[in-house]
Structure 1
Amino acid sequence: MNPVKRSLINLHLTVILLGGTALFSKLIALPALDITFGRSLPAFICLFIFAKFSGESLRLNNTKDYFIGIGLGILMAVHWMTYFMSMQYSSVSVGIIALFTFPVITVLLEPFFEKIKLNWQDVLSAVVVLFGIYLIVPSISLDNDVTLGVLVGVLSAFLYALRNLFHRQYFSHYSGAKAMGWQIMVICPCLIFFLDDKFISMDTHTALLLLCLGTIFTALPHAMVATALKHLRAKTFSLVACMQPFYGVVLAILVLNESPTIKTLIGGVLVISAAIYETINTHQSYKRENE
């Protein structure tokens, strides 16, 4: 098998694993904050070991980068917490679709970070996403758990978009595994003082699920991304990454017996279509700028 085909298969496996993280919001009977902490602890250890064996220094270049890493880590902490909260309020299907509003949110935020202007296609994408979210929301009331889950999911998407924009501008000179390792490491001291008593007294089954989430479903896919990008373009990775909601919904149906409504599925198709469009459009814009 040639390296490109192997990398593409590995990339799809990576996206399946990342989509599978959503399942743990239902499989682990802990608050979202505790799941986030339990995910982070083994994940950063594994990523640092991977970076070390890849021949990288674990140190950052300067003091400024350490402060940037801390800021990005705080954003990641709240993003992961709201990610799991969204699915605990509603369902895996609803939460993961709400999260994937982030490509369009990113495009809407970019003018505040870079010297670019919005075009009518971006505004149209935002309208499509809003309509997709409207289809998912059962009622305009915070008393409805699904509605609350959607809103928290969109907040998670906003935080993820912010983190990605700051990362691209100030932290992208580090490898993916090393950058993620530092950001995830920051999560642990941020959350340790807010852990629920249930975390301290968890049973062996819960501990094994958290270990599985932190290693196989978090550290491993981020290490696999670094390997896959050696043979694949960033555009290919971004497009395949848009399959994450599809894989997540399928896994939720198979593992958790979820039954997404037709309106949820239609809303999901609209949100993901907009995400794919913005991914393609973004890469074409960067290509034109660098020609």
Structure 2
Amino acid sequence: MDPVKKSLISLHFTVVLLGATGLFSKIIPLSAIDITFGRSIIACIMLVAIVKITGRRLSLYSAKDYMVALVLGLLMTAHWVTYFAAMQYSSVSVGMIALFTFPVITVLLEPFFEKIRLVWQDLLSALIVLCGIGLLIPEVSLSNDTTLGIMIGVVSAILYAFRNLIHRKHFSHYSGAHAMAYQTLVIFVCLSFFSSDQLYEADQHTYIWLFVLGTALTAFPHALIAASLRHLRAKTFSLVACMQPFWGTIMAIIILNEQPNWQTLLGGIMIVSAAIYETYNAQKLHGK
């Protein structure tokens, strides 16, 4: 199968898995830092195992690559913590939607990384996504926790946009599992200074949920994401990944009994439409 088409298929599947991660901000009774710390430990072990099983060496090629891995890991540390914090302050749907301002940020930043020009279709797709996000966010006051959650989510979006762009430009020559193994290692080391006793005193069910989060919903999908960025532009990933809040909202309705309004449904349709267009446009650009 063509590498671009294969990357697009795996990307859509990955987005469904990542859509479920937001639920764990409510299911796991720990702080955002503790959830991220536990997630990073399990994911790092699994990703290192994947690298070893596939016969690749764990070491990087140069000192510069180690510095890039450190920067990527620091960005992912802040991104993951703010991601869970945004949903804990607000709701799964609102937190994920706030995060997904990152496609708009990515479209605007990518020309500075890739030395390409913005075209009107990029801006139109970004505008559609932004309008969809605007419809999904409820009316809130600045003193409301939901507002704080949205603000934290936007910060998380900025961090994620920079991480994706730097990864593609300076680190895409490594496999997905290899790249994420180093990033989760940095997360583990950073947060080892900030984790609380609640993590070590948690019950068995909490550890089971952390294991699921760290393996099926972190190690596997993030390895696929890093691999897909080798064949797709960061803009393509960003806009296709806009389906994540849609899937997250659907799962939040079923599992957490969240009740979206008509704005949520309309905004979800707009976001998915932009993602479908971007997927088609990426295939067209590659002659497929």
Provide TM-score, normalisation by structure 1.
0.83
- C-alpha distance in structure 1 between counterparts of 2:111 and 2:226, whole Å: 28
Task: Say whether the 8 Å CA contact 1:133–1:267 is kept in structure 2.
Answer: yes
Partner amino acid, structure 1, of 2:46: C
Deviation by residue 1:101-128 (Cα, 9 ceiling, x = unmatched): 3222211011222322223333333433
Q: Which moved more, 1:170-179 or 1:211-220?
A: 211-220
Q: Which residue of 1 aligns with 2:67?
A: 67
Tell me, in whole angstroms, the C-alpha distance in 2 between the residues paired with 1:226 and 1:282.
17
**Alignment of structure 1 residues 57-206 onto 2, 5 Å:** 57-139=57-139, 141-206=141-206
Tell me, what secondary structure is at the counterpart of 1:116?
Answer: coil
* More off after superposition, 196-205 vs 71-80: 196-205
Matched residue, 1:250: 250
Pick which of 49-58 and 206-215 moved more.
206-215
Give the Å deviation of 1:248. 1.7
Helix, strand or coil: the match of 1:113? helix
Match in the other structure for 2:20? 20
Shift >4 Å, 4+ stretches: 5-13, 223-227, 237-242, 278-285
Tell whether the 8 Å contact from 2:10 to 2:224 is kept in structure 1 after alignment.
Answer: yes
The normalised TM-score by structure 2 is 0.84
Q: Counterparts of 1:227-246 in structure 2 under 5 Å?
A: 234=232, 238=237, 241-246=241-246
1:113-162 C-alpha deviation (Å, 9 max, x unpaired): 23222233333334333333332333353312222222222221221111
Residue 207 (structure 2) aligns with: 207
Deviations 1:191-229 (A, max 9, x none): 1111123223222221221122111221133456689x7
Judge conservation of contact 1:100–1:271 (CA < 8 Å) in 2: no
User: Which of 246-255 and 22-31 deviates more?
Assistant: 246-255
Distance 1:152 1:16 in 2: 23
What amino acid is aligned across from residue 178 of structure 1 in structure 2? H
Equivalent residue letter for 1:141 = S
> Which amino acid in 1 is paired with 2:71?
G
* Matched residue, 1:217: 217
Q: Is the 8 A contact 2:86 2:153 kept in 1?
A: yes
Task: Write the letter of the residue equivalent to 1:41.
Answer: I
The total of aligned residue pairs comes to 278
- Say what the alpha-carbon RMSD is for the aligned residues: 2.9
Deviation per residue, 1:244-263 (Å, 9 max, x gap): 33322221111111111221
Identity value in percent: 59
Q: Higher mean Cα deviation, 37-46 or 208-217?
A: 208-217
Change (3 A) 1:124 1:165: same
In structure 2, relative to structure 1, the CA distance for the partners of 1:23 and 1:140 (3 Å cut) is closer
